[in-house]
Structure 1
Amino acid sequence: MKRYWLEMTSPEHAVLPKNTVAVLPVGATEQHGPHLPVGTDCLINNGIVAAALERLGDDIPAVVLPLQPVGASQEHLDYAGSLAHPAPDLMQSWTRVLDCAVRSTGLNRILIFNSHGGQSGLLAAVALDQRVRHNVLGAYATWFDAGYPDGLFTEDEIRTGFHGGDIETSLMLALHPELVVTKNLGDFPSSVDEIEARTGQLSANPGGGRVGGLGWKAQDLNSDGVTGNASRATADKGRALLEYTAQSLATLITDLSNAPMPSDNWPPERYRA
C-alpha cells in the first residue's frame, strides 16, 4: 500500500477512499545550536510519521503529503542557516496545499502534523478554514503534545528544555546519529526560570498559572539559541520516545479515518425559514 503522495500516480490518487486521511507534515528549518542540524524539526517529523505508518493497520487509508520544510521561525533568524515564512504567508501556503489535495481527490479528512513549537498556534485556524470551506474533517497535532513516557525526562527538561535539549537530541541520536555533533553536546540552561523568578505572571511559556507570554527571540533564552541539557541525551531515550509518539500519531490517524463526518443537515428545522 502506497502511503506517500509523491510516490503515487494521478490515477492512484483518483481512487483513494474518501475516508483517507491526508496528513500534511509541517516542519521548520532553523538553528538548533552547535550540535544539531538546521533540519532537526523536519527530520524528527519524517521519523515520527514513518514510524506511525508502520503501526497503521492495512484497513486504515492514509496518505502523507509533501513535508513543508520552512516554517514560522522568525525567532531564530539571527542565527546562520535559519529560514522562515511570516505567519500569514505560511498559513496561506499550507491552505493552498490542502485546497489542492481536497479538490483534486475528494478526500474529506485532513491532518496537519507539526514539529515546530513556534507555529503551534497557527494550526487550528488553518484546520478550521478547511472545515468551513470544504466541509472536511479538519484536524491538527503537534508531536510533543502527546507527552512523554514516564520517567524518561526530568520535569525541568520537559518544562524548559524544549529546543535542542535532551528531548530533541535524544530523538536525533535515534534517527540520525551521523548528523549530531557529539563533541558540542552540553547543558544549555534557559532563562525561563530567571524570568519567572523576577515576575508574577510573565513567562516564555504561559500556562500553569502564568497568564502572560513573551514574544521572545532564541537568544533571549540562551546565547546558543537552544535550551535544555543535551549532554543527557541518549539514543535509547530517543527510541523510546519515538515509539511512544509514533503510536500516538497512528492512533490519531485511525481515529480520524473512522470518525463520522459532521452532519450536512444544517440548519436545524427550527432555524429554517
Structure 2
Amino acid sequence: MPPSTERRLASLSWTAVRDQAARRGSTVVWPFGAIEQHGPLLPLGTDGLFAERVAEAVLERLDPDLPIWRLPLQSIGFSPEHLGFPGTLSLPADLVIELVRSVGKGIAAAGFQRLVLFNAHGGQIGLLEAAARELRVLEPGLAVLPCFLWRGADGLAELIPEPERSTGLHAGLAETSLMLFLEPATVGALPAADGLAPSPPPPTGWSLEGACPCAWLTEELSSSGVIGDPSEASDDLGRKLFLRLVGSWERRLDALVRSDWPPTSGRP
C-alpha cells in the first residue's frame, strides 16, 4: 500500500489495517479535546481544535512510511469544572474510562502495538492517565501513552512570561495566541489587562494546579471564564507556540515509532 499523508485510520480497508498493525512500531494516535467554555473570547471547541491541528501537522511531517495512524477527534470530554457556563458539555468520568477501554480493546484486537491518547484539555489529564492504566491491565500487549499537548513541549516556557506561565490556566495568553494563529476569525475582542478581575490566590504552599492542587470550579475563580490574562495575545506568539508544539511532538512520536519502547507483555 502506498504511504498516505492523511494517516486517517478510518480511511483504510480492514486488510490495510491488518497489514499496518502487523508492522514493527505500529501506533495509533487518538486526539482528545472538550466542548467547554473558554471565556467570551474563544470557542467551545478550542481544546479539540488544538489537539487535532497539532496532531495533523505532526503526522504530515513524519516519514510517510512509518506505521502511525490517527483516530477521529474525541471532541466531548470530562469538563465538570466548567459546567457553570452555558455550552459546556461533560461526560461522566466512568463513561470516559469505558470509552478508552472499549476503543483500546479494538485497537489491540487489530494488532497495533501502541495507543497514544493525545489530549489538549488540562481538566482530563488525570482521568485519561487512570483510563490508560485500566486499559493496560486489560490489554497487556498494547502500550498506552496518555499525553498532554502542553506538557513537556520544548521551549514553551521562554515564550510565556510569569505570572501568566503559572496562572494562565484557561483562555489566557497561550491559548488565545494559538487560536489567533490557527483560527483568528473565531477570537473575540481582546480585553484590556485592567479589565480582567484577577483570580484569588491560593494560600502559601498550595496551587490551582501543580504539586498541591485543589479541585476548583471555574465560576469560583472567574466571572468571565478566563483564568489568566489574554490581553497581550498575538498571532505571532501563536505561530511560535505552534511551531514548538509541532516540533516537539514530531521528535517524540518519531522516536517512539522507531523504538521498541515501552515494554509490553502478552505478545508472542
In structure 1, the partner of 2:126 is 121
Which of 202, 205, 209 is matched with 1:201 structurally? Answer: 205
Would you identify which runs of 4 or more consecutive aligned residues in structure 1 move more than 3 Å?
147-151, 184-190, 263-266
1:82-114 CA distance string (max 9 Å, x none) = 0001212111112211211221x2101111110
Q: Distance in 2 between matches of 1:139 and 1:145?
A: 13
In structure 1, the partner of 2:137 is 132
Which of 24, 38, 45 is matched with 2:44 structurally? Answer: 38
Which of 15, 20, 32 is matched with 2:19 structurally? Answer: 15
Q: Distance in 2 between matches of 1:68 and 1:214?
A: 26
Alignment of 1:113-192 (within 5 A): 113-134=118-139, 135-147=141-153, 148-149=155-156, 151-181=158-188, 183-187=189-193, 188-191=196-199
User: Which amino acid counterpart does residue 57 of structure 1 have in structure 2?
Assistant: D
Residue identity over aligned pairs, in percent, reads 33
Aligned residues: 256
Shift of 1:190: 4.2
Secondary structure of the 2:158 match is coil
Task: Give the alignment's Cα RMSD to 1 decimal.
Answer: 2.0
Q: Distance in 2 between matches of 1:122 and 1:50?
A: 24
In structure 2, the partner of 1:269 is none
1:6-30 CA distance string (max 9 Å, x none) = 2222232121143221011111000
Alignment of 1:1-273 (within 5 A): 1=4, 2-18=6-22, 19-103=25-109, 105-134=110-139, 135-147=141-153, 148-149=155-156, 151-181=158-188, 183-187=189-193, 188-191=196-199, 194-196=200-202, 199-207=203-211, 211=212, 213-260=213-260, 262=263, 264=265
Secondary structure of the 2:107 match is helix
1:11 and 1:185, CA in 2 relative to 1: closer, same or farther beyond 3 A? farther
Q: Distance in 2 between matches of 1:71 and 1:264?
A: 30
TM-score, structure 1 length as denominator?
0.87
Q: Distance in 1 between matches of 2:158 and 2:205?
A: 29
Shift of 1:265: 8.8
Report if the CA contact (8 A) 2:21-2:112 is conserved.
Answer: yes
Q: Distance in 1 between matches of 2:81 and 2:179?
A: 22
Report if the CA contact (8 A) 1:189-1:228 is conserved.
Answer: no
Report if the CA contact (8 A) 2:192-2:231 is conserved.
Answer: yes
1:13 and 1:263, CA in 2 relative to 1: closer, same or farther beyond 3 A? closer
Higher helix proportion: 1
Structure 2: stretches of 5+ with no match in the other structure: none
Report if the CA contact (8 A) 2:36-2:88 is conserved.
Answer: yes
111-120 or 216-225, larger mean C-alpha shift: 216-225
TM-score, structure 2 length as denominator?
0.88
Q: Distance in 2 between matches of 1:214 and 1:174?
A: 32
Q: Distance in 1 between matches of 2:63 and 2:80?
A: 39
Q: Distance in 2 between matches of 1:186 and 1:98?
A: 45
Report if the CA contact (8 A) 2:142-2:264 is conserved.
Answer: no
User: Which amino acid counterpart does residue 151 of structure 2 have in structure 1?
Assistant: D
1:41-95 CA distance string (max 9 Å, x none) = 0111111111111221123221111111111100111111100012121111122
Q: Distance in 2 between matches of 1:227 and 1:172?
A: 16
122-131 or 63-72, larger mean C-alpha shift: 122-131
